[in-house]
Each structure stands twice: as C-alpha cells, then as structure tokens.
Amino acid sequence: MRAALWLVALFGVAVAVALFAGNNQGVVTVFWPPYRVDLSVNLVVLLLLGAFVLSYGALRALAALFDLPRQAKRWRVQQKERAMHAALLDAHSYLLAGRFIRARKSAQTALSQEKALGASGVKLANAPQLRALSHLVAAESAQALQDRAGRDEHLTHALEIPSQRHVALGQETREGAQLLAARWALDDREAQTALAWLDELPQGVARRTLALRVKLKAARQARQTVVALETARLLAKHGAFPGDAAQSIVRGLVTEMINGAYDTAQLLRVWNALDGAERVMPELAITAAQRMAALHGDATVARAWLLPVWERMVVSDDGSPSSALGDYQSIRLVRALELGLASLDASWLARIETAQQHNPRDARLQYLAGMACMQRQLWGKAQQLLQQATTGLQDAELHRNAWRALARLAEQRGDDATAAQAWKRAAQL
C-alpha cells in the first residue's frame, strides 16, 4: 500500500512539473556589462537546484571530515568498553566452570579497563554496577582459593561504591554482596558473622528464600534453635523444601529444643510455643512426654500431650485398626505411657482397656493394659495380659519388661520356679 501511494505521488509530481515547465515561455536576462545573457526560467530553476545540492553535499562532506577525530575516539572507547564487558563475561564463565584463578584475572582485567576509561574522561552509565560485579566475581574466586584477605578487600570495594546506594539496581547488587558475604562466613564456620551480615539486610530482602536458607544454616550452626525454628517455618510457608523435608527439619529442631529443656517450666514454654500442626506430630508429643517424665514433671500433662497420638494408634470407630501410626511410633508411645502408669487416672485406664478389647491380638496394647493392671494391683488380669503379650511382642525391650513383670508377679505369689524361668527368659532377651 505504501509503495502504491508513493507511485501515485510520483506521478502527481511529474504531472505538476510537466504542466509548469512544458508551456513556460519565461526568460531570465542577466546583464553583465558589456554582455547580456538570456536564459529560460526552466534552466535557471535547474541551475539553482543543482547549486543547492552541490552546496549541501560539500557542507556534509566538510562536517564528516571535521568529525573524524571524534568518531575515531568514540570507536576506541567502544572497543575498550566491549573488551571490558567481554572480560567480565569471561570471569563469570570461568567462575561457573571452577577455574577460579582465571576468573579472578579476568575480573581484575575488567576493573583495570574500567579504571582506564574513567581516567580518560569517559563516564559509563553502568560503571558502578560493573565495578561492583567485577569485585564480587574476584571475591568469589578468592573465597574458593582460600584467599580471605583478597576476598575481604574486593568485598569492601564492592560495598563502598557511593553511587550504589542511590540506584535501585545498584542497591540490588549491594544486597547480593551482603548475601554472598553471609554465605562465605557460613562456609568458614563463622555463624555469628553470617547472622550479623543477614541482620544488615532490609526486612524485605531478609525474608527472601535465599536469605532464609542461609539464616537457617547459620542459626543451626550457632545453636540458636529458636531462630532456626522460626526460619524453618517461614521457609515451609514459602514452599522452599521438597516433599516432607519441611516437617522433618521442623521436627528435628523442636526435638532439639525439647531435649534441651532443663526444667518443666522451660518444657512447657517450648510446648506452648508450638502451633497446632506441630503439637499433633507423634514424634514431638512422645518426645515431650518422655522429657516430662525425665524431669519428674506432671504425668497428667504428658498424657494430655499424648492423647492425639493415642487416638491415631487405637482402633477407629468402625472397629478397623488405624494405620496412621507406624510400629516404631506405636512402641515409643507405649513406652511413654508406661512411664506415667503410677499416676494413671480412671479415664486413661478405661481408654487402654477399651483399646485392648477392640483389638485383642495387639501385643502392644496387651502389654500396656497388663502393666496398668499391675499398677492397680489387679494381679490375675495383669498376669493374663502379660502372658499373652509375650507371644506377640516384637520389640526386645518391651518383651524383656513383660517377662520381668511376670517374674515379679510369680515371686509375689511364691512361685519361685515360674519366677526363675521368667527371669531367665528376660535375661535371654
């Protein structure tokens, strides 16, 4: 369409010229004493047009001639700038390839070329960022080469660029340098230094996944379990862990806090600080109950913690066994409940008996019910349940405890032969 319009316009110009010049009888007379020159108007127009074109071409040629030094200087600057960018790209490539000596040399070459450009009066718009990135690549290479003095020197230069703090992109580079510094401190086993670097970050940057990962490692390395737990929870909300890794990390940190409680008051603070999802984790509830028993705390509180776990182990409402709790966790639960049998109340005794009646072939429930009856001095029922449990228990410790209880029961009723046989079976386990 555009070509058609240009063709129509060209025909229009041709028609206009033909109408003007075809029948133009005008004459231009030039008097140059003693001469007289008669020229047609068409010729004069052509001569004027030709003179204009010739003058314009000459002026452009002169301008291009005088501009040659400036263009040559600009070309030299462009070549130096391209070489500087190429050196920086080479430094990144060498760094990714693990060739740290070459990466540091290329970064230093980029810094030298940028300095030379600045000394020659050339000011690049992205010079501060280029300088900071070159220093960071050199610092990363020095860290890999165990050159901590060189690393700290380049890091200081990268952070002390004044214009970086006033440019948005430069601020991002500065924050990246601080994150790198925290990671380097973590690699050097300097957890407190890493946490100090992370504390200098703005609040929004400190909540990024990369910063939280570094903070989690530093907090665990510094034995700051509370900080590590809060960080792990944030990472879990961000979806930073695959699969069940988040629960595993949180579970490990909470377990460390529970085992580190030195009295029941601290243990209660740790438990109250947990959220609802964490309190129903079988591992945490069982560990907390066992720690409460080790600290000679209130067994009623420990059993309250274990109630959700117990409900997952016992049979469901329709009578079918529940598979929500594994064998290992079930055995740990039985051991935790056994620690507080001396103060077992009627409600819990009813729960244990009901669960055992719903699943009479479960050796773990038989053992727990038998030990509970023994604490209540129900000797006959205890002996019956424990005798049944010894035929099905797979856990060596529970099996041994069952034979010990049977031996004590036999001794109590004066059956020395049965007691000796029970003690022998316990010793064999």
Q: Which position has the higher pLDDT, 161 or 369? A: 369
Strands 27-32, 35-40: pairing is antiparallel
Beta-bridged to residue 40, according to DSSP, are 27
Q: What is the pLDDT of residues 306-354, one digit of tens each?
A: 888 898 887 544 444 444 678 888 888 998 888 888 888 888 888 888 8
% of residues, the chain, pLDDT over 90: 10
Cβ-contact 335, 319 below 8 angstroms: no
Residues 6+ apart with CB under 8 A from 111: 131, 134, 135, 138
| Confidence check: pLDDT of 246 > 50 | yes
Q: Average pLDDT, whole number, for the chain?
A: 84
Provide the H-helix boundaries in 376-415.
379-389, 396-412
What pTM value is reported for the model? 0.71
pLDDT in tens, 68-108: 888 888 888 888 888 888 999 999 999 999 999 999 999 99
**Could you count the other beta carbons within 10 Å of the beta carbon of residue 218?**
26
- Is it the case that residue 56 has pLDDT exceeding 90? yes
In the structure, what pLDDT confidence band is assigned to residue 166 with cuts at 50, 70 and 90? very low
Instruction: Identify whether 34 is preceded by a cis peptide bond (ω within 30 of 0).
Output: yes
Give the position of tokens 């206009």. 16
Output the CA–CA distances (angstroms, integers) from residue 305 to 129, 268, 316, 319, 402, in the order listed: 56, 11, 20, 24, 25
* pLDDT single digits (tens) 264-294: 898 999 888 888 888 888 889 999 998 998 8
Cα torsion 220, 224, 225, 227: sign:
negative
pLDDT band for 31, please (50, 70, 90 cuts): confident
Name the band, by pLDDT with cuts 50, 70 and 90, for residue 30: confident
